[in-house]
Amino acid sequence: MKWKKMGLIFKPDNNYDWMATHAYVPVPYKISDDVLRIYFATRSKAIKSVTTFIDVEADNPSRVIYVHDRPVLGMGNLGTFDDGGAVPFCLLEHDNKLLLYYGGWNASVTVPYRNSIGLAVSEDNGLTFERVCEGAIVDRNQHEAYFTGACEVIREGDKWRMWYGSATGWVIVNGKPEPCYKIKYGESDDGINWTRPNKTCIDYKFEGEAIARPSIIREDGRYKMWYCSRGSVNYRTDKEQSYRIGYAESVDGFDWERKDEEVGIDRSAEGWDSIMMCYPYVYQHKDKKYLFYNGNGFGESGVGYAESC
């Protein structure tokens, strides 16, 4: 598959106290044939994360027609898994409701942070979301000791399937801890309680790699996954180590083959996505696929997109 970059869509610039910088981890949602909503996380001046959205033209996502003026999901209560922020991962329609699987994080002591997965529900077509519970629905356990992260959830019949990030440890780089994570798999009967067989779907290619944010579609009898991966040394500024988008395929969604060389897109020579490309999400619209993603600074430079060609 080949992609044509269409450029930057939106970059916050102190729009509000709670929207000072960053538009990261984009999640597109169809409002109508003409309007596409893009949920994303943004950061306050205090470096706390909340979820909000913009509306764009469905046929031309580079044209923003509305910027929401408040969070749709804020931080959790003090001491909960998401008291540092709430970051959207994926949306599903179910029983006339919208289910938002999201990432919560809070500060840690021995390492910078800890991530987990939560669930919130909207009954007003995505204008507001309420947590189904204060706790995480996918957290560290006896097999996954460090943290869980960005997920994709697909419902197939009565079975719910999840592909999610799972940290396998921290490495010390230049005197500071950096996490490594791969993509694992889980199943559920209700979308809330998950069985996790400790099955790795996308494994490391090299020591110190981190693999995040799976986005999955079914096409041509196969599952197709886009994700991002990085190294651990100076990956915030070093293009050779920083996030790039990867690609994998599977017949059953359980066993995957990495095909990063077929992803069809890479960092630009200069500009907003010249150092990193991260947090991809693939969305089908009419006869095209859109690849929404973040660039430099983990979304500090904004959210942009590419079209299939």
Nearest to 274 by CA among 306, 239, 250: 239
Mean pLDDT for 246-269 is: 98
CA nearest neighbour of 229 among 288, 165, 284: 165
Instruction: Find where tokens 């046929």 sit.
Output: 59
Question: Which long-range contacts does 237-246 make (Cβ < 8 Å, 24+ apart)?
Answer: 237/275, 239/267, 239/274, 239/275, 239/276, 242/267, 242/275, 242/276, 243/212, 243/276, 243/277, 243/278, 243/298, 244/276, 244/277, 245/277, 245/278, 245/280, 245/291, 245/293, 246/202, 246/211
Kindly tell me the sign of the dihedral angle through the C-alpha atoms of 226, 182, 179, 240: negative
* 57: pLDDT strictly greater than 90: yes
- One-letter amino acid at 181 equals Y
Contacts of 238 (CB under 8 A, 6+ apart): none
> Does the structure show a pLDDT above 90 at 87?
yes
The CATH number linked to 261 is 2.115.10.20
Q: How far apart are the first and last CA of the chain?
A: 8
150-207 per-position pLDDT tens digit:
999 999 999 999 999 999 999 999 999 999 999 999 999 999 999 999 999 999 999 9
Confidence of residue 1 (pLDDT cuts 50, 70, 90): confident
Looking only at the bridges linking them, the beta strands covering 176-188 and 113-122 are: unpaired
Quote the tokens at residue 19. Answer: 């929207």
By residue range, what is the domain housing residue 122?
Answer: 3-308
Tokens at 108, concatenated: 């840690």
Portion of the chain with pLDDT greater than 70, in percent: 100
How far, in whole angstroms, is CA 256 from its chain's centroid? 19
pLDDT category at 258 given cuts 50, 70, 90 is very high
DSSP code, position 19? B
How far apart, in whole angstroms, are the C-alpha atoms of residue 49 and residue 22?
9
Q: What share of the chain is helix, strand, coil (3-state, %, to 5)?
A: 0, 55, 40
- Assess whether pLDDT exceeds 90 at residue 81: yes
Residue 291 three-state SS: strand
CA–CA gap between residue 132 and residue 230 (Å, rounded): 33
What residues form DSSP beta bridges with 64?
56
Q: Are 303 and 23 in contact (CB under 8 A)?
A: yes
Distance from C-alpha of 105 to C-alpha of 241, rounded to nearest angstrom? 24
Number of folded domains in the chain?
1
pLDDT at residue number 165: 98
Nearest-angstrom CA–CA distance, 290 and 228: 16
CA distance 172 to 120: 34
- Phi, psi dihedral angles at 114 (to 5 degrees): -135, 135
Report the alpha-carbon distance of residue 170 to residue 208 in Å, rounded.
9
**Is it the case that residue 5 has pLDDT exceeding 90?**
yes
- Tell me the average pLDDT across 28-49: 96
For the stretch 117-150, pLDDT in tens is 999 999 999 999 999 999 999 999 999 999 999 9
